[in-house]
Amino acid sequence: MATRTDTSAPEATKVPAKAIEGRSLGRIAWTRLKRDKAAMAGGITVILLIFMAVFAPLIVGWFGHPPNEFHQDNALLAAELGGLPRGDFLFFENSGISGDFLFGLEPQNGRDLFSEVVYGARVSLLIAFLATLVSVLIGSTMGVIAGFFGGIVDTVISFLMNVFLAFPLLLFAIALVGVLPDKAFGLSGNSLRIALLIFIIGFFNWPYIARIVRGQTLSLREREFVDAARSLGARGPYIIVKEMLPNLVAPILVYATLLIPTNILFEAALSFLGVGVQRQVVGEPGVTWGGLLSDAARNSVVHFMFFPGMAIFITVLAFNLFGDGLRDALDPKSKR
Amino acid sequence: MAGPAGLECPAGPAAQAEIVVTFFIRRTIGAVLMLFVVSIATFLIFFGLPRLAGATPETFAARYLSRTADAHAQQVFAEKLGFYDPLWMQYGRWIKAIFVGTDYDYGTGIEHCAAPCFGYSFRTNHAVWTDLLDRMPVTVSLTVGASILWLVTGVGVGVLSALRKGSFFDRAAMTGALAGVSLPPYFTGLMFLYFFSYQFDLTAPGGTYVDFTDNPGEWAYSLILPWITLAMLNAAAYARFTRAGMLDTMGEDFIRTARAKGLHERVVVTKHGLRAALTPIITIFGLDVGLLLGGAILTESTFGLKGLGYFAIDAIGKQDFPQIMGVTMFAAFFVVVANLIVDMLYAVVDPRVRLS
């Protein structure tokens, strides 16, 4: 962003030059991003994961069995081993991994772990994306207001951010999910839970975005083009929307991308602790990676922990790689 | 108070001391204010929100009574505990009990609850405060061990990576660190437990904890896996912070000056580079330790360690409001105090902070 205004200043009168300059930031970032193999790998994984979540029923139809189907016949689950699946694969003892059950079977109830992991992506990504959106909306608004107006407004908002950072967030989120009712806002069951989780996770993470936006706004406010706009008679709201926001898009985009994996971990932690989306036997299964891990913790069977855990790990890693790459690509001061 | 005079010419020692004292007082007031806001929020979540969602004074009272209690008993009890009073009065009573203690009249005689009084559990009737103190050693042991481990490894790896930027070590360490921050502690914890304890029997199984005063060796043996699990996550993050900070610092003019003076590279790195790069790390470290002292929820529940985090989850699962509120305030207290200590240390080390 720094380069954009600096270089365009000498030929600010030429309209076409400005258009080319405007495009070049995105193009520079894209060429940089393309060269970054780790970021591209992360980005492609993210896209594949989104496809997996959207087309979960199709994928499960091709490679597995419906997530709520129980396979309890003695050929698959060994009654003499307390319901552990039959069959070893590598170090996955008693996993039941086969061409038919790619990730093996769940002990005791014999559900197809592959399809559960595939369906788990749905809840995880849905909550992470929408919660990030909530954080970005609240955080950018608060950050811009604090940075632009300064004074008492800034003091109050900054204090509020500090209060949020002083909260034991996970504890608060768990407690909050616990006290809320089973029916509200015309929603019930898991739809209500998902909505609440989105709101709670998003609401607790806004200071993270707000701090960055506030800092950027503070430095943008002192720049010449803002002075120029002001001297031409532009008012606060116009300057914020037309002059500041375009310059804030890049940092917001980067930190939103980096907030998604945090939110995935947050949701998985809540599910692991048993306060996330609840499992359903009929309809949309409501299976989560954190929930699967929490079930797996109860019986020491390694494949049951490994696949849901790896799903969280790969998803979070992919977003982190992509976010890091995006930050390097969009940051003109980047040392690469 | 930060006049330009203070920035340009160093004030006398007396004036310096005054600035520091004013700064400390201001920050302490800020911390108290913060705790006040947190306490209001906590209270509103547990006593305000359920009201909006349709809870009545009787349903609150019912939590203290056995399931067989009739509506009349609930009303009497709600009256006794003051659930019919406006919210601000109930809040005032709660805060007052924390500072000066309170007397409960359960009808069978007056029971005195001494000064930090967080009330009694719905279920066990234990005083929340003594329960919290009982759980403290586990959480402190876990936090102290893990924090030393991650600070040493994280900063060490970060510094080495920065000094050998672009090398194989740097790339391997940073890939490892990125993987480390992406691994949820309950996943690594479960895998560690499975392999090291269940399969190879090298470490203590989950749920074991031996007090330090009973047997220090057993204490360390029972905590080694939780320490590693908790440290891994943070070590990875610290390695990334340290590397970035170190790279920034080593590009500064004063490092060039130090080198130009002919200082030994080791001295340049440790006395000039590391010292400047570590200051923000210490801030984050203080906050992280403060946060963990309020309960390492995920690690504790993965390993079945009965610390504050485990206590909190248990209390939330059973909807035991006095316990939940007690542990939340306790945890918030640690975060705020850690914040305060870090601020003050910072002000002593770096004079620019208190002038801003």
Environment class of B108 (CB within 10 Å of its CB; exposed 0-12, middle 13-18, buried 19+): exposed
Nearest-CA residue of chain B relative to A265? B184
Average predicted confidence (pLDDT) for chain A? 80
On chain B, the residues whose CB falls within 8 A of the CB of A174 are 297, 312-313, 316
On chain A, the residues whose CB falls within 8 A of the CB of B298 are 170, 269, 272-273
Q: A120-151: per-residue pLDDT in tens? A: 898 899 999 999 999 999 999 999 999 888 88
Distance CA(B330)–CA(B265), nearest Å, equals: 46
Q: Can you read off the two tokens belonging to residue A154?
A: 């800034």
Of the candidates B303, B293, B157, B133, the one whose C-alpha atom is nearest the C-alpha of residue B227 is B303
Q: Does the distance separating the beta carbons of B54 and A174 come in below 8 Å? A: no
> Residue written as tokens 């002292």?
B293
Distance CA(A201)–CA(A266), nearest Å, equals: 7
CA distance B194 to chain A (A): 7
pLDDT at A22: 53
Neighbours of B172 (CB within 10 A): 11
pLDDT at B5: 42
Q: Does the distance separating the beta carbons of A268 and B184 come in below 8 Å? A: yes
pTM score, two decimals? 0.84
Task: Note whether A155 contacts B: Cβ–Cβ < 8 A.
Answer: no
Whether the per-residue pLDDT at A64 is higher than 60: the answer is yes
On chain A, the residues whose CB falls within 8 A of the CB of B193 are 300
Q: Looking at this protein, which amino acid is placed at residue B247? A: L
Q: Does the distance separating the beta carbons of A296 and B186 come in below 8 Å? A: no
Distance CA(B47)–CA(B119), nearest Å, equals: 15
pLDDT at B268: 86
Neighbours of A24 (CB within 10 A): 14
Distance CA(B44)–CA(B59), nearest Å, equals: 16
- Check if the beta carbon of residue A268 is closer than 8 Å to that of residue A121: no
CA distance B296 to chain A (A): 10
Distance CA(B259)–CA(B267), nearest Å, equals: 9
Q: At what angle do helices B87-100 and B13-43 cross, to 10 degrees?
A: 130
Strand-pairing partners, residue B102, are: B113
Nearest CB among A172, A265, A294 relative to B328 is that of: A172
CA distance A182 to chain B (A): 9
> Which of A46, A124, A163, A301 to mutate to test binding with chain B, by most B CBs within 10 Å of its CB?
A163
Per-residue pLDDT of chain B (356 residues; tens, 9 = 90+): 344 444 444 556 677 777 778 888 888 888 888 888 888 888 888 787 777 766 777 777 777 776 666 777 778 777 777 777 888 888 888 888 888 777 766 656 667 777 788 878 877 778 888 888 988 999 999 999 999 999 999 999 999 999 888 889 998 998 889 888 899 998 998 888 888 887 787 777 777 787 878 888 888 888 888 999 999 889 998 998 899 888 888 888 888 888 888 888 888 888 888 888 888 888 888 888 888 888 788 899 888 888 898 898 888 888 788 888 888 888 888 888 888 888 888 777 766 655 55
CA distance B243 to chain A (A): 13
Q: Does the distance separating the beta carbons of A170 and B313 come in below 8 Å? A: no
Q: Does the distance separating the beta carbons of B302 and A297 come in below 8 Å? A: yes
SS3 of A284-314: the string is: CCCCCHHHHHHHHHHCCCHHHHHHHHHHHHH
Averaged pLDDT, A165-177: 77
On chain A, the residues whose CB falls within 8 A of the CB of B41 are 163, 167
A191 pLDDT band (50/70/90 cuts)? confident
Nearest-CA residue of chain A relative to B184? A265
Environment class of B198 (CB within 10 Å of its CB; exposed 0-12, middle 13-18, buried 19+): middle
SS3 content of chain A, % helix, strand, coil (to 5): 70, 5, 25
pLDDT at B108: 63
What ipTM describes this predicted complex?
0.82
Question: DSSP assignment of A136-204, as one string?
Answer: HHHHHHHHHHHHHH-HHHHHHHHHHHHHHHHS-HHHHHHHHHHHS-SEETTEEHHHHHHHHHHHHHHHH
- Check if the beta carbon of residue B236 is closer than 8 Å to that of residue B179: yes
- Provide the sign of the torsion angle of the four alpha carbons A126, A39, A258, B301, taken in this order: positive
Nearest CB among B49, B179, B186 relative to A293 is that of: B186
Environment class of B176 (CB within 10 Å of its CB; exposed 0-12, middle 13-18, buried 19+): middle
Q: Can you read off the two tokens belonging to residue A309?
A: 């855990």
Taken in order of first residue, the domains within chain A and their CATH numbers are 33-65+115-334 (1.10.3720.10), 70-110 (no CATH)
Q: A210-266: per-residue pLDDT in tens? A: 988 998 888 888 888 888 888 888 887 888 888 888 888 888 988 898 899 999 999
- Report chain A's C-alpha Rg in angstroms: 24
Distance CA(A321)–CA(B175), nearest Å, equals: 10
What are the contacts of B203-207 at 24+ separation with CB within 8 A? B206/B302, B206/B303, B206/B304, B207/B303, B207/B304, B207/B305
CA distance A113 to chain B (A): 16
Nearest CB among A168, A175, A317 relative to B182 is that of: A317
For strand B102-105 and strand A84-85, is the pairing parallel, antiparallel, or unpaired? unpaired
Identify the three-state secondary structure at position A119: helix
pLDDT at B67: 66
A47 pLDDT band (50/70/90 cuts)? very high
Nearest-CA residue of chain A relative to B336? A166
> Residue written as tokens 């003109």?
A332
> Which of B187, B313, B328 to mutate to test binding with chain A, by most A CBs within 10 Å of its CB?
B187
Q: Does the distance separating the beta carbons of B182 and A261 come in below 8 Å? A: yes
pLDDT at A282: 67
